[in-house]
Amino acid sequence: MSKVPENSQDEQLPDDKKPNFLQRLFVRQGVLSALWIPLLSVFTALIIGGVIIAASSPNVLLAWRNFFHAPIEALSITFGLIFDAYLALFVGAFGSPASIVDAFRVWSATGESRALLEAFRPFSESLVISTPYIFAGLAVALGFRGGLFNIGAEGQLFVGGLASVYVGYAIKGLPALIHLPLAILAGILAGGIWGAIPGYLKARTGAHEVINTIMMNYIAFRLTDYLLQGPMARPDGLPITPEIAPSAYLPALFPRPMRIHVGFLLALVFAALVYWFLWKTTIGMEIRMVGANPHAARYAGVRIASIIVLTMSLSGALAGLAGTNQVLGVDHRMVRAFSTGYGFDSIALALLGNSHPLGVVLASLLFGFLRGGAARMQSVAGTPVEIIRIVQGMIIIFVAAPEIIRSLYRLKSEREEEAVLVGGWGSS
Amino acid sequence: MPPLLELRGITKRFPGVLANDRIDLTLNQGEILALLGENGAGKTTLMNVLYGLYAPDEGEILIRGSKVEITNPRDAIDLGIGMVHQHFMLVPVFTVTENVMLGVESVKFGGYLDREAAAGRIRDISSQFGLRVEPEVLVEDLPVGVQQRVEIIKVLYRQADILIFDEPTAVLTPQEVDELFKIIRSLVEKGKSLIFISHKLHEVLTIADRITVLRNGRVVGTTTPDQATEGALASMMVGREVILTVEKEPAEPNGVVLEVEGLNVRDDRHLIAVNDVSFQLKAGEVLGIAGVQGNGQTELVEALTGLREAESGQITILGQDTTNLSPRQICRIGSAHVPEDRQRDGLVLAFSVADNLVLNTYNEPPFAKGLSLQHKIIEKTAQERVDQFDIRTPNIFVPVSNLSGGNQQKVIVAREFSRPIKLLIASQPTRGLDVGSVEYIHGRIIQKRDEGCAVLLVSPELDEIMSLSDRIAVMFEGKILAILPVEEATRERLGLLMAGILEAAPA
């Protein structure tokens, strides 16, 4: 894994007129930093995670105290624990290969699919977690491409969820074909407006979007508190909204207990849409131009203020969809804690995914699988779920500071790299 | 006696590039050695090796005959080597004293900065070498020429005997260059030795005792100003004969393309930068705007191209009032703009060569159909432009930041000149480019003129203005002091006008 082929740096592109798919995809950053850095970051973080798993176990510490009496035992306990923990993580994330094989056998023999659904359930659960990550990660990535740091994905996600859940329970008697799109549209609009406000403030007054999106987050959180305790609360007074009509559900893809729903496919469609929009349309080119060099964008005739508002609106709309996805696809109602920080994690995902839709999807899947497997890791191997949080944090640090990985694995530095996608504080 | 400094067989490789190939160089005590070469010839790499920023792959460095190891700038400073960087390394909000002290702070009572002692030494150095720098002023309040003198003081304060000047005149006005040359001579009189890096031929001939020419990382030869001419040096630099004067027929102007009436423009500080400027520009002629940088040329061009609001007055292009129209509207009328700062305004460095070639036409047919970019057509056109304008790039998909300065400028020229334009506004089109690229771009500008395009050329380089223009306007403090036909414009006369002395103008 640490061996990198000599030609992995796309500095020396072949003289062919057509570069290959990967080179086209990463023309701006080089294959090395776009692919190898994230992969090696994950690898390294898992190794360090393993050390922490071992060091936080009393059994392991005890065995090491007796190292000089029983060195082999100390090592085998240590590696055994790490192996068990990561095996549990893997099984928790993807399902157990053995039970999947068994379930297939039962199914092909009897046609009974219950065991099969049960066996694939962990995999499905991981994808359920990945879905809001994809939406919110795309939101932040789109902002990054436009040179804007949307820290407000969490707030946009909340208002998106509020709007969708309201349309979901307040309107009754519509066919799903109308009700569901309407509920989705409400989430898009609410998130879009929540993003457009700091966008407009930036375009009009130069107020920094980082500050204003953070402030918009607080407004969204408190607005949610208020609505859930009053106007949108269930008749019995609990701070939960009524259940949405089934016509507004994002339909499940498989029978219970698999919870994976259409939202996941929708997320993939939106990833493709964002890619198409950013790289294949004139407005997408304008967004990237403003992000990469606002001076040149102005010279080229781009109306920067409009593009800033548009970028923030679209970013907000995507984040809103993450909230919509949760209420229409998973919870079917809204509670205060319906997001476990998806909006904040999405900043890391956009970074990990190189602000590229494909990268965001892969990063979201990774985080989904890590979080999906973490619970089983705790129950089976006794390893606290927080370890996975630490691993996630380290991945981000390694991706954000690629020099660590480069020096660790003796990778050559690339000569030209796109500078940080977002300007510093106060830069235009 | 051995030479003061000797480089023997210095070789420095970068991935895929041989930046320095067995370079030998000697510098004698009290001498000014000019290091001449095109951009990318390896001058700066060699000096970075000497200054300890790069480790050479082969070769050795000797000072006064004994071999030395220089692994970082600290070593170089200890050996008496100082570098005056092209891009100043100054903290704008610090005073001169604080900037000079930075890194070698003098302290008293164990921890307090002793600014007085440092300021005293700065005054000594300043008067000894005729630098005239006040220690207490903030660096951000100083003009560029004086900031450079602060850099020189920094080097002298660290007791350097060997001073390296990296392209020191790139940012200076002609007057400041003269000033700098006086300082350089006084440094040498006081026993300092200098390496002067440049790609400007006349400067090298004026100031140097010996000239070493680099090409493609190798020493092509060493000569003295007595034996060399500009032509000979230029052909040494590029390896072929260079036409230094642009060959062109007399202009055949007809029909007014651009008319400016009583234009007033404010700069970023809201001060009047363009003051009641009026002129006409006809099809098929080049109007050069000469002047020391910062006399309103930038603001004038920005107002003409829609990048800056005009306070009052009128701009008419091809009979249409374009005052305060948007850059895109002005572009659509048929005007092209080669911006002064190509990396800031003219290119998106992270974008591919192909994207940069359609940077302002990407949303027009045939490059776009509605919202959808037509990548096939964009790429096909880009390939044609690359061939047609001889842009040296591995392919059209690499980021334009990978290209050399000259080729980056060719991307802009290719983009702007390929459109059907009637008006070309070129601001310092050859700034910082090597001789080969300058020659090429000058040829293209004259070609545009001969095709009937009106050309407004803004440049602080008198040579460029005089060789390309048919008429020359001189700007001083926001006003156009005079417009002369090129036949009547002598270097002296223009120089006086650039200094604001009106007597030189025809009565």
- Measured between CA atoms, how close is A413 to chain B, in angstroms? 11
HSE-up of residue B311 (Cα within 13 Å, Cβ side): 17
pLDDT tier, A12 (very low <50, low <70, confident <90, very high otherwise): very low
The pLDDT profile of chain B, 507 residues, written as one tens digit per residue, is: 789 999 999 998 876 668 899 999 999 999 999 998 876 678 888 998 999 988 899 999 999 999 999 998 889 999 999 999 877 889 989 999 999 988 877 777 777 788 888 899 999 999 888 888 889 999 988 887 888 899 999 999 999 999 999 888 877 777 788 889 999 999 999 999 999 998 778 888 999 999 999 988 889 999 999 998 887 887 787 766 555 667 778 878 889 999 999 999 998 878 899 999 999 999 999 999 998 777 899 999 999 999 999 999 999 999 999 999 999 999 999 999 999 888 899 999 999 999 999 999 999 989 999 999 999 999 999 999 999 998 988 889 989 988 888 889 999 999 999 999 999 999 989 877 777 888 889 999 999 999 999 999 998 778 889 889 999 999 988 999 999 999 998 877 887 787 777 764 454
DSSP annotation of B315: E
- Give dist(CA A24, CA A103) in Å, integer: 42
Q: In the predicted model, is pLDDT for residue A161 greater than 70? A: yes
- pLDDT surpassing 50 at residue A9: no
Q: Which of A7, A299, A310 to mutate to test the interface with B (most CBs of B within 10 A)?
A: A299
Which of residues A1 and B354 earns the better pLDDT score?
A: B354
Given A13, A28, A301, which is nearest B326 (Cβ)?
A: A301
Of A12, A24, A418, the CB nearest to B397: A24
Banded model confidence at residue A4, pLDDT cuts 50, 70, 90: very low
Q: Does residue A11 carry a pLDDT above 50?
A: no
Judged by a CB distance cut-off of 8 A, whether residue B394 touches chain A is yes
Residues A100-144 have pLDDT tens digits of 999 989 888 888 888 888 899 999 999 999 999 999 999 999 999
Contact A281 B402 (CB under 8 A): no
Residue A41 has pLDDT above 60, yes or no: yes
> A with B: how many residue pairs have Cβ under 8 Å apart?
97
Contact A91, A84 (CB under 8 A): no
Residue-level pLDDT at B40: 67
What is the structure's pLDDT at B504? 45
The string of pLDDT tens digits covering residues A19-37 is 555 544 444 445 556 678 8
A27, A279, A282 ranked by CB distance to B363: nearest: A282
State which amino acid sits at residue B226: D
- Average pLDDT rounded to a whole number, residues A153-172: 96
Contact A283 B371 (CB under 8 A): yes
The per-residue pLDDT for A26 is 47
Query: Count of CB atoms within 10 A of residue B11's CB?
Result: 16
For B23, B25, B73, B217, the CA distances from B20, given in Å and listed in that order, are: 6, 12, 19, 4
Shortest CB distance from B327 goes to which of A13, A284, A299?
A299
The chain A residues in contact with chain B (CB within 8 A) are 11-13, 15-17, 19, 23-24, 27-28, 279-285, 288-289, 292-293, 295-301, 303, 412, 415-416, 418-419
Question: Which tens digit of pLDDT belongs to each residue from A177-220?
Answer: 999 999 999 999 999 999 999 999 999 999 999 999 999 999 99
Cα–Cα nearest to A168, from A249, A229, A267: A249
Burial of A7 (0-12, 13-18, 19+ CB in 10 A): exposed
Look at B362 and A281 and tell me if their CB atoms are within 8 Å. Answer: no
Does the distance separating the beta carbons of B348 and A301 come in below 8 Å?
no
Residue of B362, B386, B402, B416 to mutate, testing the A interface (most A Cβ within 10 Å of its Cβ): B362
Residue A415 has pLDDT above 50, yes or no: no
* Residues of chain B found within 8 Å of residue A296, distances taken between Cβ atoms: 344-348, 359
- Supply the angle between the helices A37-55 and A386-400 in degrees, to the nearest 10: 140
User: Shortest CA distance to B313 belongs to which of B262, B252, B371?
Assistant: B262
- Residue A14's pLDDT band, with cuts at 50, 70 and 90, is very low
Check if the beta carbon of residue B465 is closer than 8 Å to that of residue B243: no
User: What is the structure's pLDDT at A417?
Assistant: 37
Neighbours of A71 (CB within 10 A): 12
Report how far residue A46's alpha carbon sits from residue A388's, in angstroms, rounded to the nearest whole number: 9
Nearest 5°: phi and psi at B315? -115, 125
Does residue A173 or residue B107 have the better pLDDT?
A: A173
Closest A-chain CA to B394: A15
Q: How far is A364 from chain B (nearest CA, A)?
A: 26
Nearest CB to B346 within list A23, A28, A296: A296
A13 interaction partners in chain B (CB closer than 8 Å): 394-395, 397-398
Chain B residues with beta carbon closer than 8 angstroms to that of A23: 397
Q: Distance (Å, rounded) from C-alpha B301 to C-alpha B306?
A: 9
Residue A371 to residue A394: CA distance in whole angstroms? 15
Give B146 to chain A, closest Cα distance, Å. Answer: 28
Q: Among B325, B343, B352, B363, pick the best mutation site for testing chain A contact (most A Cβ within 10 A).
A: B363
- List CB contacts (< 8 A) between A285 and chain B: 355, 362-363, 373
B39 touches chain A (CB under 8 A): no
Which of B51, B25, B501 shows the shortest CA–CA distance to B292?
B501
Which among B328, B359, B363 is the nearest to A296, CB-wise? B359
Residue among A24, A280, A298 minimizing CB distance to B372: A280
* Residue A178 to chain B, least CA–CA distance (Å): 28
| pLDDT tens-digit series, residues B240-271 | 655 566 777 887 888 999 999 999 999 887 88
- Chain A residues lying within 8 Å of B16, measured CB to CB: 11-12
Residue A285 confidence (pLDDT): 96
- Answer for the pair B350, A420: CB distance below 8 angstroms, yes or no: no
The verdict on a CB contact (< 8 Å) between B348 and A418 is: no
State pLDDT tens for residues A55-76.
888 888 888 888 888 888 888 9
Q: At what angle do helices A71-94 and A357-381 cross, to 10 degrees?
A: 120
Least confident among A95-99, A307-311, A331-335, A356-360: A95-99
Interface test with A, best of B379, B395, B425 (most A CBs within 10 A): B395
Give the integer Cα–Cα distance in Å for A364 and B193.
Answer: 61
Q: Give the pLDDT of residue B275.
A: 94
pLDDT at A5 over 50: no
What pLDDT shows up at residue B217? 86
Out of A282, A298, A301, closest to residue B368 by CB: A282
Say yes or no to pLDDT of A427 above 70: no
Residue B112 CA to its chain's centroid (Å): 41
For chain A, what are the domain ranges?
A: 129-364
Taking CA–CA distances from B346, the nearest residue in chain A reads A296
The predicted structure's pLDDT at residue B115: 86
B345 interfaces chain A, CB cutoff of 8 Å:
yes
Query: Residue B246 has what pLDDT?
Result: 72
Q: How many Cβ atoms sit within 10 Å of the Cβ of residue B104?
A: 12
Q: Per the CB < 8 Å rule, is A285 touching B362?
A: yes
Name the band, by pLDDT with cuts 50, 70 and 90, for residue A413: low
What A114-122 contacts at long range (C-beta under 8 Å, 24+ apart), as own/partner pairs, is A117/A254, A117/A255, A117/A256, A117/A257, A117/A258, A118/A257, A119/A95, A120/A95, A120/A254, A120/A258, A121/A95, A121/A257, A121/A258, A122/A91, A122/A92, A122/A93, A122/A94, A122/A95, A122/A96, A122/A372, A122/A373, A122/A376
pLDDT at position A17 is 42
Distance between CA atoms of B406 and B408, rounded to whole angstroms?
5
Q: Is A251 helix (H, G, I), strand (E, B) or coil?
A: coil
Question: Does residue B433 sit at the A interface (CB-CB below 8 Å)?
Answer: no
Predicted pLDDT at B49: 92
Of the candidates B328, B372, B375, the beta carbon closest to that of A301 is on B328
Alpha-carbon distances, residue A176 vs A186, A244, A247 (angstroms):
15, 12, 4
Question: Which of A63-67, A90-94, A317-321 has the highest mean predicted lDDT (pLDDT)?
Answer: A317-321
Query: What pTM, to 2 d.p., does this model score?
Result: 0.77
The pLDDT, as a whole number, for residue B86 is 78
Closest CA to B129 of B216, B192, B47: B192
Interface test with A, best of B308, B361, B398, B403 (most A CBs within 10 A): B398
Check residue B170 and give its pLDDT. Answer: 72
For residue A30, what pLDDT is reported?
A: 54
The pLDDT of residue B405 is 80
Residue B311 buriedness (CB in 10 A; 0-12 / 13-18 / 19+):
middle
Over its C-alpha atoms, chain B yields an Rg (Å, rounded) of 25
Tokens for A218? 């607080």
> Is residue B360 within 8 Å of residue A299, measured between CB atoms?
yes
Mean pLDDT of A360-378: 92
Is B402 part of the contact surface with chain A (CB cutoff 8 Å)? Answer: yes
pLDDT > 90: what percent of chain A? 58
**What DSSP assignment string belongs to A360-418?**
HHHHHHHHHHHHHHHHHHHHHH---THHHHHHHHHHHHHHHSHHHHHHHTTPPPPS--P
Backbone angles phi, psi at B138, to 5 degrees: -75, 140
Give the chain A residue nearest B402 (alpha carbons): A416
The domains found in chain B, sorted by start residue, are: 5-238 (3.40.50.300), 254-345+420-504 (3.40.50.300)
Sign of the CA dihedral with B340 first, then B344, B346, and B347 last = positive
More confident call, A299 vs A416: A299
Alpha-carbon span A327 to A165, nearest angstrom: 6
pLDDT band at A425 (very low <50, low <70, confident <90, very high): very low
- pLDDT given for residue B140 in this prediction: 86
Whether A356 contacts A34, CB under 8 Å: yes
pLDDT score for B16: 61
B137 touches chain A (CB under 8 A): no
* Inter-CA distances, A194 with A40, B195, B239, Å: 36, 60, 62
How far is it, in rounded angstroms, from Cα A362 to Cα A355? 11
What ipTM does this complex have?
Answer: 0.80
Identify the H or E element spanning A38. helix A37-55
Q: Does B420 touch chain A (CB under 8 A)?
A: no
